[in-house]
Amino acid sequence: MEFAFTQEHVMIRDSAIRFLTQASDSHAVRAAMSRPEGYDPAVWKRIGQDLYWPALMVPEPFGGMGLGFVELAILLEQSGRYLLCSPLFATTCLATPALLLGDNAALQVTWLGAIAAGETTASLAFASGPGLDASSVHTEAHSCSGGFSLTGTYTHVVDGAQADLLIVAARTPGTQGEHGISLFALPADTPGVVRHALPTLDQTRRLARIELHAVQVTDAQLLSAAGQGWPLLRDTLQIAAIGLAAEQTGGAQQALDLTLAYTAERHQFSRSIASFQAIKHRCADMMLQVECARSAAYYAACVAQERLDPAGDNVVSSELDAAAATAKIHASEAFFHCAAESIQLHGGVGFTWEYDPHLYFKRARASEQLLGTPAFHRERLAAHLFGEQP
Partner 1 sequence: MKIGFNNEDEAFRRQVAQWMAEHLTGDFAPLRFRGGPGDEHSFPAERKAWERTLAAGGWIGVGWAKEHGGRGLSISQQVIFHEEYARAGGPGRMGHIGEGLVGPTLATFGTPAQQQRLLPGILNGTEFWCQGYSEPGAGSDLANVQTRARLDASGEHWLISGQKVWTSLAHEADWCFVLARTEPGSTGHHGLSFLLVPMAQEQIRVQPIQQLTGTSEFNEVFFDQASTSADNLIGQPGDGWKIAMALLGFERGVSTLGQQMQFQNELDEIIRIARDNGASRDPLLRQRIAQAWAGLKVLRYNSLRMLSGPQDGSLSREAMIYKLAWSTWHADLGKLAMDVLGSEGEILEGAPYQLSRLQSLFLFTRSDTIYGGSNEIQRNVIAERALGMPREARVRS
Establish how many alpha carbons lie within 13 A of residue 37's alpha carbon, considering only the half-sphere containing its beta carbon: 16
Shortest separation between residue 314's beta carbon and partner 1, angstroms: 10
Shortest separation between residue 211's beta carbon and partner 1, angstroms: 35
Shortest separation between residue 385's beta carbon and partner 1, angstroms: 6
Shortest separation between residue 131's beta carbon and partner 1, angstroms: 18
CA distance 177 to 210: 22
Q: Which is nearer to partner 1, 6 or 176 (CB)?
A: 6
- Specify burial of residue 4 (Cβ count, 10 A radius: 0-12, 13-18, 19+): exposed
Beta bridge partners of 198: 207
Q: Which is nearer to partner 1, 6 or 218 (CB)?
A: 6
Q: Which is nearer to partner 1, 196 or 281 (CB)?
A: 281
CA distance 220 to 147: 8
Q: Which is nearer to partner 1, 37 or 133 (CB)?
A: 133
At residue 307's C-alpha, the angle toward residues 246 and 233, to 5°, is: 80
| Closest-CA residue to 222 (of 119, 139, 146) | 146
**H helix or E strand, kind and range, residue 181:** strand 181-187
Shortest separation between residue 58's beta carbon and partner 1, angstroms: 20
Helix/strand/coil for 202: coil
Shortest separation between residue 331's beta carbon and partner 1, angstroms: 10
Q: From the centroid of its chain, how far is CA 84?
A: 12
Helix/strand/coil for 106: helix
Residues at the contact surface with partner 1, assessed by CB under 8 A:
1-6, 9, 70, 256, 260, 263-264, 271-272, 274-275, 277, 279-281, 283-285, 287-288, 291-292, 295-296, 298-299, 301-303, 306, 313, 315-316, 322-323, 325-326, 329-330, 375, 377-379, 381-382, 385-387
Q: Which is nearer to partner 1, 197 or 287 (CB)?
A: 287
Shortest separation between residue 288's beta carbon and partner 1, angstroms: 5
CA distance 321 to 327: 10
Shortest separation between residue 150's beta carbon and partner 1, angstroms: 36
Q: Which is nearer to partner 1, 315 or 353 (CB)?
A: 315
**Phi, psi values for residue 116, rounded to 5°:** -65, -35
Q: Which is nearer to partner 1, 134 or 297 (CB)?
A: 297
CA distance 196 to 335: 29
Q: Which is nearer to partner 1, 145 or 311 (CB)?
A: 311
Query: What are the C-alpha distances in Å from 209 to residues 97, 162, 173, 201, 302?
Result: 22, 11, 22, 15, 33
